Amino acid sequence: MSPAAERKDSAPAAKREGSAKPDGGGKSSASADSERTAVFRAVRPDAEAPADSKGATGDTAGSAGTDSSPAWVKRTPDKAADKAADKAPAPADNERTAVFRAVRPDAAEAGPAKGAASGASTFVPLRGEGQPKAEPKAQPKAQPKAQPKLQPPAEPKRTPQPLTGSERTTTQPLPPRPPLDLLAELTNNPPPPPSPMRTTVRRVKIYAPLLALLAVVLGIAQLVRPLPAPTLTMTAKTSYTFEGDAPALPWPSEGQAYMAAAGLGTLGSFGEMKPVPIASVTKSMTAYIILRDHPFKKGEKGQLIDIDKTAETEGKKNNSTDNESTLDTVKEGEKISEYDAIAALMIPSANNIARLLARWDSGSQEAFVAKMNATAKELGMTNTTYTDPSGLDATTVSTAEDQVKLGLKIVEMDALLDITRKPSWVDPSGKTWTNWNRLVPLDNSLGIKTGTTTKAGGNLLFAAQKKVGGTNQLIVGAVLGQHKPPIIDTVVAASKQLMLSTQKALQGATVVKKGDVVGYVDDGLGGRTPVVATADVQAVGWSALTVAVKLGEGGTKIPQTAKAGTQVGMLTVGEGASQVKVPVALQRELVAPGFGSKLTRVG
């Protein structure tokens, strides 16, 4: 081999691995995708270089024979040789195999050697370890010949070989990556190293839009929620106490007595409150039950009641032998109105009519008596026992305190008071009957019921009224067990003194003046609109008495919006029939809650 050829063959691998020189037409002799990879086996130093008998020139073979050092063999892969190499068994000493990319010979440089067949490679001997570098022999200059243009060999078909060995690859699912890291991979920008500031910024970027959306949704929900109902709240004092000492009343010298004002409380009591016979005062409970269960208004007559044989027969017992109070003008088959029956019961104190009403209401006297005792229990009359509807039996007992509890309920029935306050009554037959209660019609007395027997003595349940300010105040008292003769006059006189003293003790005191702020309307979202009294508010009572002051809606619903001066409630002083009521109104316009109040409300 000539020195020029040797220099060409020993060109650096980098040059051989470069792109092929362009052809005369400017095109590469082989495309980039047709580069092949050749497999070369590293030769051990002590092995002889095999001689390639096919396609090698004489010079090449001689060089291989004289140089015993290992050599790199450069050749164009042969299809048949490749197949034989693939089928050859592996060496026993596990020789290692190196993989190099075969460089496609350039048309100008890599032509075949003299005498070599087309497609043969040039064998270059390599120096083995420990061997002296052989001097190249002088070669005569070869005349350059035109080299045929090499065509890239066809790609050999290779059968994929299955992997052998015990190693296996197992694919495991990776944990989810943070969104920013995934985005960095997609854009080929590795994420910067983590830091507290980056973590904070990343969390802000992720959660800030979510929080903003949540705030918008909550805001809309707050705005469309129904508004709470407005309520009244009181700012004025909830009670008022009259100045001075408690009044001293003229109590009777015997028996027992009790005095109270409707809605205000008791003024005091006298004697031991133990059950005693009450005689015809019993008829107060009979009248109360009949009017409660069969009501009629003041001025009306109510239902018609048939007169039975018993009522007519018992009406004859008003003689000196039986000594009963009866209505002797009734006859069997006739009818009597409910109004006249109660009048006969309360004014002439007719026992036969009391029994008639019991049978008419409950079917029998026994059933009606059971109803009387049940009603007494409902009213808190714990020391009262009824055994008959008229009170003729001495076993019907009660106390002055219990009878006042019943009287406070009776004064709430205008139709009943319209009867008991009459000094006399004319029955359906035209006969006039005088009221046994001599207190009426004087001193604003309202009557109620007397009851006298030899065993029970003189007894009286009475009521009266007094005008205080703009209201009628009702008082109720009971005096029992008066035995000084004449017993009816004794009990009437004792009752009159108590009645007049109580009326005198009643007084009024201005608790709230007109225009005073007594409270406010709360719209439920923090808005407060003051309310004022529309008139002077007077408390009624007596010295040392404490009365309650309350503010309520008065049965009307408070609107969401209203003009100034609109009545929105009621200020009440006291309780029951004696309470004083004054309307309250808005001091200024009541407006609906604003945008901010709706948005920031809680609950």
* pLDDT greater than 90 at residue 431: yes
**Residue 162 banded pLDDT, cuts 50, 70, 90:** low
Q: At what angle do helices 351-362 and 365-378 cross, to 10 degrees?
A: 90
Q: Give tens-digit pLDDT for 520-570.
A: 998 878 788 999 999 998 888 999 999 899 998 877 788 888 999 999 999
User: Is the pLDDT higher at 157 or at 187?
Assistant: 187
User: Is the pLDDT higher at 174 or at 367?
Assistant: 367
Contacts (Cβ under 8 Å, ≥6 apart) of 373: 384, 385, 386
Least confident of 180-194, 283-297, 418-432: 180-194
**Do residues 537 and 512 lie in contact, with contact meaning Cβ atoms separated by under 8 Å?**
yes
The beta-strand segments (E) located in 317-444 are 335-337, 397-398, 424-426, 432-434
Classify burial at 299, counting beta carbons within 10 Å of its beta carbon; exposed 0-12, middle 13-18, buried 19 or more: exposed
Buried b vs exposed e over 365-388: b needs ≥16 C-beta within 10 Å?
beebbebbeebbeeeebebbebbb
pLDDT at position 526, please? 76
Q: Give me the residue label for tokens 């059968």.
A: 159
Does this model's pTM top 0.85? My answer is no
Task: Supply 166's token pair.
Answer: 């015990």
Q: Give tens-digit pLDDT for 330-361.
A: 999 999 999 999 999 999 999 999 999 999 99
Could you give the percent of the chain with pLDDT greater than 90? 49
Average confidence (pLDDT) over 81-93: 48
Q: Give tens-digit pLDDT for 371-402.
A: 999 999 999 999 999 999 999 999 999 999 99
**Residue 402 CB neighbours (<10 A):** 22
Task: Supply 591's token pair.
Answer: 């407006």
* pLDDT greater than 90 at residue 266: yes
Average confidence (pLDDT) over 41-55: 44
